[in-house]
Structure 1
Amino acid sequence: MIPLVGLISCLIMLFCAAVLLFRIKEIQRFGDDVSEPLAAPPSLSVIIAACNEENTIEPALRRLMSDCEPNWEIIVVEDRSSDGTRALLERLAADSEHRLRLVLIDELPDGWLGKVHALHQGSLVASGDWFLFSDADIHIDGALIRQTLAHVERQRLDHLALLPKLMTKTFLTRIVIAAFVAVFALSSSRKRRQDAAELNHGVGVGAFNLCRRSVFRRSEGFEWLRLEVADDLALGLAMKRAGARHEVLVATWGLEVEWYPDLAGMFRGLEKNSFGAACHYSYPRALGAVVGLSLWALGPLCCVWTHPFACFLAYGSMAAVGFLGARHLNWNALPFFFAPVGFFFIGLMIANSAWSAWRRGAIRWRGTDYDLDELRRCQVLRL
């Protein structure tokens, strides 16, 4: 029985490797061959939500402010921080020569996630022709923004999501990131992302969601996403439902973030949203995801003694596809060789998130507990 499980796992891994071979090639890079910046870049509002970002936000903001156009504004929404974030932002705003605009939030209304509410408040005061929603720890070059604005205007796009370069200090977290890239590629084809008829499938990226203001204003906006834990992904869906033409690309330069410093930080950071985003707050779905990812990662080992060639072929195919994918994305290939190990850890993260939700009967985010039944009712994203 156990060798049979191993053989089935090998077949599944071979099938996934074949699908990944085509899906990864669909992921396009931004930065290799792009248009020259526009002579007169359109006005832009960069909107950032910040909560307890005292240790990360200053270098990111200084990098952005150092290369701004006169008609760009940077709006930072300080959301009830308990550290020194507010004082730091007030000092930066005072020294910014009006490039940095600060919005302060002291109370969170009922029925809102803190980050979603903060982005909503920022969008209400934004005045640019384009809105760039980003995170507090994202490092963005002004030159990259100019080229993306030229790209969306010349391609007549309404929404552009860019995947950043994910910086991390440990090899194990790089392996998990490689696994996340594989899961993303498997779950989302370019054709499906761009098909206007696929109104239940859209993609956004928290690091870089560039939205045309006119289309964003006619979308359901953040009020529709008020209790959506995967707000960045769901923003892409909201734009698509409003008729936006959009693209998802991988930035080869000018956009980077230290996603999580280590594996423990990744577990803590994804505890709040893995259960909802991946499993729709369903414990049977979570169990299926954990078992499926574990079999994907370790299942072929069940037949390593009886069918060693099948086991080698399964893992070898994933390693080969990982190598090709890393070369295509211009990333370090070594972590992609070990992506199956990352699948196992993703399963553990989902299990940890589901266990935390079951233990509390709620999801805890930014110091607030959110009832699971209410989150289920208000969830809009279906991965």
Structure 2
Amino acid sequence: MFIFKLLVILTLGYWIMMLGDTLWARKLMRQLPASPKPGGSASTESFASAGLAQPRGTTAKELPLVSVIIAAKEEEASITETVKHLLNQTYPRFEIIAVNDRSQDGTGHKLEELRKWSQGKRQVEVPLTIIHVTTLPAGWLGKNHALYQGFLQARGQVILFTDADVLFQPHALADAVHYMKETEADHLTLTPKIVVNSFWLSAFVQYFFFALSLYIRPWRANIDSQHKHGMGVGAFNMITRQAYDRIGTHQAFAFRPDDDLQLGMRVKQAGLRQRLASGRTQLAVEWYKSLREAVQGLEKNIFSGFQYRVLPAAAGVIGQLLLFFFPFVAIFVLDGWVFWSYVLSIVLMLSVYSLLIQSLIGKIGKELLVFPATVCLLSYIVTRSVWLTLRQGGIHWRGTFYVLEQLKKMKR
């Protein structure tokens, strides 16, 4: 019985601490604001059509050129829609560089069709560059290499790294550039709206981002006084060219599957200014199409979040089960003050969950009812990811096998 008393004290203390931290963190969680409309004078007519707020007398040519870089591997189902959404942006100065990363499907053909289509439309004035990567050099993960190849062709003062399945609302670039300028940020990363098509996938996605947030606490990106913890989201990493060069470009983390997070971490460690905001009204992405696909996708790379170390991964699974799952079991087998302490822990836990999900995703639904099941599912995925990686001696990622010993050497 002593062990249960000790465990409930630790559990209750943890959730009290997390509630306090979350209430404080909500002040740092921001929604990307829409860029205000200009005054409409003759000197700002170009901005009226773009929906940008710039000082009177500023011309569109004085806006920074944004280079949007997309890495696409086996993305024939989504790449056309993504590029067409980007071509519809109201921001007047940007280019698109789409990199076909050794795709075996019709991705390259789709991109070439898009280039011909854009060249034949008078109203489409956005330069569209297509790069076909056919080989992968040693020491690189495919996506990182593709993004870097895109950067080598980029002309912009601002670089946006994004994925091939992200849908942009027309004012997304305008809002982001305005916010970067307003906050004097070197790096802006946005969390998109996650599109899900089933109850169980929605429940798991919500729990995954809840657990991830408690693990990495992404809101610390908005604290300028700390330079240890940063954040990056693959759907939207916008960074100035100067800052990207300063962190060593993708060459500095060429062999990291979590390249988006690594970019954000290195921005902070370099002492640069970073901003994290919710872009759910500007961006949307269907992360996975089904729960099965989510499980299969995460089990390939979630071990990288623990830097391929077994003990931290084991601690993560055990901690989840003891702090997140066991309280739901304890209320059926224990009594007295221990019972009521676990009841209070559950109330605090679900309060933290609700506050974080409202900030990250924007809504709370009946998915909350299956919270314990999603805890078990994520614990299973982490365990299986460790087992598969060790058994295979590496990971299969985007059609390429990477040896574990190489991954460990490049973990920092």
- Which amino acid counterpart does residue 7 of structure 1 have in structure 2? V
Deviations 1:183-205 (A, max 9, x none): 3432326446534552x422111
For the 8 Å contact 1:35–1:151, the answer to whether it is kept is no
User: Which residue matches 2:355?
Assistant: 324
Partner of residue 96 from structure 2, selected from 74, 82, 87: 74
Q: CA deviation at 1:171?
A: 1.9
Deviates more, 1:212-221 or 1:161-170: 212-221
CA distance in 1, matches of 2:314, 2:7: 20
Partner of 1:168: 196
For the residue of structure 2 that corresponds to 1:74, the secondary structure is strand
The answer to which of 229-238 and 289-298 deviates more is 289-298
Matched ranges for 1:1-383 at <5 A: 1=1, 3-4=4-5, 7-8=8-9, 10-11=11-12, 12-31=14-33, 34-36=35-37, 37-39=52-54, 40=60, 41-67=63-89, 69-97=91-119, 99-186=127-214, 187-188=216-217, 190-191=219-220, 194-195=223-224, 198=227, 200-277=228-305, 279-304=306-331, 305-307=333-335, 308-329=339-360, 331-334=362-365, 335-336=367-368, 338-380=370-412
Please state whether the residue corresponding to 2:395 is helix, strand or coil.
strand
Deviations 1:17-61 (A, max 9, x none): 443333344322213x65442443421110000000011221121
Distance 2:357 2:369 in 1: 9
Contact 1:215 1:243 in 2 (8 A): no
Counterpart CA distance in 1 for 2:142 and 2:240 is 24
Contact persistence 1:362–1:370 (CA under 8 A): yes
- In the aligned structure 2, how far is the partner of 1:34 from the partner of 1:74? 22
Quote the offset at 1:312 in angstroms: 2.4
Q: Check conservation: 2:19, 2:348, Cα contact below 8 A.
A: yes
Please give the alpha-carbon distance, in whole angstroms, between the structure 2 residues aligned to 1:150 and 1:352: 43
RMSD, matched Cα: 2.3
AA partner of residue 333 (structure 1):
I
Change (3 A) 1:344 1:21: farther
Query: Which structure has more RCO (C-alpha within 8 Å, separation ≥ 6)?
Result: 1
Asked if the contact 1:319–1:337 (Cα under 8 Å) also holds between the matched residues in 2, the reply is no
Change in CA separation of 1:5 and 1:96 when aligned onto 2, cut-off 3 Å: farther
Change in CA separation of 1:268 and 1:149 when aligned onto 2, cut-off 3 Å: same
Q: Which moved more, 1:182-191 or 1:215-224?
A: 182-191
Query: 1:214 aligns to what SS in structure 2?
Result: helix
Which range moved further: 102-111 or 212-221?
A: 212-221
Give the aligned residue type for 2:352. V
User: TM-score, with normalisation over the residues of structure 1?
Assistant: 0.90
> Which one has a bigger Cα radius of gyration?
2
CA displacement at 1:306 relative to structure 2: 1.8
Deviations 1:130-172 (A, max 9, x none): 1010000011123121011011112211100001111111222
CA contact (8 A) 2:189 2:238 kept: yes
* Cα 1:299/1:24, change in 2 over 3 Å: farther
C-alpha separation between the residues in 2 aligned to 1:212 and 1:82?
33
- On the 8 A contact 2:100/2:131 being kept in 1, the answer is yes
Aligned AA for 2:23? L
Deviations 1:97-121 (A, max 9, x none): 2632101000000110000000010
What secondary structure is seen at the aligned counterpart in 1 of 2:207? helix
Name the CA distance, whole Å, in 2 between partners of 1:176 and 1:56: 23
Deviation at 1:363, TM superposition (A): 1.3
Out of 367-376 and 125-134, give the one that drifted further: 367-376
**Superposition TM-score, scaled by structure 2 size:** 0.84
The question of whether the paired residues in 1 share the 8 Å contact of 2:327 and 2:342 is answered with yes
Q: 2:48 — aligned with what? A: none
Which runs of structure 1 show a deviation greater than 6 angstroms over 4 or more consecutive aligned residues? Answer: none
Is residue 179–residue 340 contact of structure 1 (8 Å, CA) maintained in 2?
no
Deviation at 1:14, TM superposition (A): 4.2
Displacement of 1:70 in angstroms is 4.7
Contact map agreement 1:6 1:303 (CA 8 A) in 2: no
**How far apart, CA to CA, are the structure 2 residues paired with 1:259 and 1:367?**
18
157-166 or 177-186, which moves further after superposition?
177-186
Distance 1:214 1:3, change over 3 A: closer
Cα distance in 1, alignment partners of residues 353 and 212 from structure 2 = 13
Distance 1:5 1:261 in 2: 42
| CA apart distance, 1:3 | 4.2
Aligned residues: 377
User: Is the 1:25–1:328 contact (alpha carbons within 8 Å) kept by the matching residues of 2?
Assistant: no
Mapped to 2, the partners of 1:225 and 1:265 lie a distance apart of 27
* Higher alpha-carbon deviation: 130-139 or 321-330: 321-330
Q: Do the aligned partners of 2:70 and 2:161 also contact (CA within 8 Å) in 1?
A: yes
CA–CA separation in structure 2 for the residues paired with 1:57 and 1:255: 15
In structure 1, what residue type is equivalent to 2:142? G
Provide structure 2 residue ranges, at least 5 long, that are not aligned to the other structure. Answer: 38-51, 55-59, 120-125
